[in-house]
Amino acid sequence: MHHVTRIVVELPARRLREGIVYVDTRGLGGLATAGAAETRAYLPKCDLGVVLIDAGATLTLDDLGTIQALSNAGITAAVLLSKADLLEPADRERAGKYVAEHIRSDLGLDLAVYAVSIRPGFTGLLESWLEREILPLYDRHSELSRQSLNRKVETLRLAVEAALKAQMRHACSRPARDTKKLKELESELRAAAGKTAETRAECIDATDELRNAADGFMRAAAIAIAAKHGESSIRTSIEQTVAERAARISSAIDHATKSGLKALRDAVRGLGLASEPNPRELADVANGMPRFDLGGLELPARRPSLARFLGERFAAWSLERRVQAECGEQIREAVRIYGRVLQSWVRKTFADLQGLFDSYADGYRAQLSRLVGDGPGGLKEEALRDDLSALASSPENALERNAS
């Protein structure tokens, strides 16, 4: 039975004459029911809805939901107590009155309730219902179809009218807005997103450059130490230089974050919203930048003793050669590893930052776009009034116009 969407059974029965079709659908009341969506989709084709209520149980919220769904769709509902053979005649009458009273009090609908059964000896109940309520409808099939269609058209007309009136109230109560300013806010949000993407690319390039910059770090450290008198630290100098590179990346991220926050705040104020994004929420995204540390690597620390006689240039050259010879490869590997770790952090940070920014900006953009669309060239109050006037015609007149 996989992938079966419909089974049609045709019988040469008197009660199916003139194209009468009975359709057994799955429940409407239980919204979690797998077939509820398909059943709702079938409603526009339905002229009469027959709701079966188990006489051996009690009226449920699902039963009431089904009746309400039929009523909302402009469809007449017939209510049957099934398995009526389980009850004595007096109990059947009491059960029918109980169900009818609850439908009246809960839904405001006055519906007759009939007890039926297909068990031998009780089929007269079903035959009685068919003779009294269903068969007379056959002779008036065309008229009833037109009435059913009118009810559906009227239900749809009322729903559309309510929606248009809600838009009219919104249009009349909304304060006048500067369309140019709204477009500027949209542009600012786009620019902030673009700036974030541009900064991300720059930061990733910076980590690529850092990975290959170890030789320059060692040379700069040697020059700095040669220029000093007394002892200094190659380790401290290299670590500080790498930290300065990382700080520039951190500063770029901070600038992009503030730019995005400003765009979000401006949009909030332009839309007149009550709350704005928490700046701490965006700032926390960039926390946890990894730090560079040479660990326990032994590095030369002294300024060459001959530097006082041969000058700083010789001292720097001599110290750089010594550092390169003793631990140059270890320093290069440490810098390469840190560059990879830092780049991974940069990618994750920008992904989180962009996701958080978009979580706010997408909603603001939608509101700005709608407001801009409601401005010049958008939906006008006059157009709403015209639509409401067009809906004032009765469903019968609408049907006659369509028929002609």
Could you tell me the CATH number of the domain that includes residue 122? 3.40.50.300
pLDDT for 10 equals 76
pLDDT for 200 equals 92
Provide φ and ψ at 317, rounded to 5°: -60, -45
| Residue 123 CB neighbour total at 10 angstroms | 13
Task: Answer yes or no: is pLDDT of 229 > 60.
Answer: no
pLDDT for 274 equals 74
Number of structural domains (the chain) is: 2
Task: Answer yes or no: is pLDDT of 30 > 50.
Answer: no
Task: Answer yes or no: is pLDDT of 56 > 90.
Answer: no
> Mean per-residue pLDDT for 277-295?
80
Task: Answer yes or no: is pLDDT of 23 > 70.
Answer: yes
Tell which of 139, 157, 187 closes a domain: 139
pLDDT for 31 equals 41
212 compared with 297, residue with greater pLDDT: 212
Does any domain span residue 384? Answer: no
Q: Could you tell me if 217 and 96 lie in one domain?
A: no
Task: Answer yes or no: is pLDDT of 207 > 90.
Answer: yes
Q: Could you tell me if 103 and 185 lie in one domain?
A: no
Cα–Cα distance for residue pair 92/82, rounded to 1 Å: 10
Q: Could you tell me if 239 and 121 lie in one domain?
A: no
Q: Could you tell me if 18 and 127 lie in one domain?
A: yes
Task: Answer yes or no: is pLDDT of 403 > 50.
Answer: no
Burial classification of residue 305, based on how many CB atoms lie within 10 Å of its CB (0-12 exposed, 13-18 middle, 19 or more buried): exposed
Q: Could you tell me if 121 and 207 lie in one domain?
A: no
Q: Could you tell me if 299 and 197 lie in one domain?
A: yes
Question: Is residue 297 within 8 Å of 172, Cβ to Cβ?
Answer: no
265 compared with 229, residue with greater pLDDT: 265
pLDDT for 170 equals 59
Cα–Cα distance for residue pair 325/331, rounded to 1 Å: 11
Domain that holds residue 110: 14-139
From residue 241, alpha-carbon distances to 87, 90, 210, 219 in Å are: 92, 96, 10, 11
Average model confidence (pLDDT) across the chain: 76
What's the pTM?
A: 0.48
Q: Could you tell me if 190 and 132 lie in one domain?
A: no
Does any domain span residue 172? Answer: no
- Helices within 23-119 (DSSP H only): 36-42, 61-72, 89-107
Task: Answer yes or no: is pLDDT of 335 > 60.
Answer: yes
* Start-to-end Cα distance in the chain: 45
38 compared with 96, residue with greater pLDDT: 96
Lowest average pLDDT, out of 92-101, 127-136, 184-193, goes to 127-136
Q: Could you tell me if 93 and 205 lie in one domain?
A: no
Q: Could you tell me if 99 and 189 lie in one domain?
A: no
pLDDT grade for 182, boundaries at 50, 70 and 90: confident
Does any domain span residue 158? Answer: no
Task: Answer yes or no: is pLDDT of 203 > 90.
Answer: yes
Tens digit of each residue's pLDDT (9 = 90 or more) over 6-19: 677 777 776 666 66
> Mean per-residue pLDDT for 247-276?
87
Q: Could you tell me if 186 and 323 lie in one domain?
A: yes
pLDDT for 269 equals 85
> Mean per-residue pLDDT for 305-317?
63
Q: Could you tell me if 130 and 183 lie in one domain?
A: no
Number of residues that make up the chain: 404
Tell which of 139, 158, 187 closes a domain: 139
Tens digit of each residue's pLDDT (9 = 90 or more) over 234-245: 778 888 888 898
Lowest average pLDDT, out of 177-186, 204-213, 224-233, goes to 224-233
Tell which of 116, 139, 162 closes a domain: 139
**Chain-centre distance for alpha carbon 115:** 47
pLDDT for 199 equals 92
Question: Is residue 208 within 8 Å of 343, Cβ to Cβ?
Answer: yes
52 compared with 32, residue with greater pLDDT: 52
Which two three-digit tokens encode residue 388? 């409401």
Does any domain span residue 238? Answer: yes
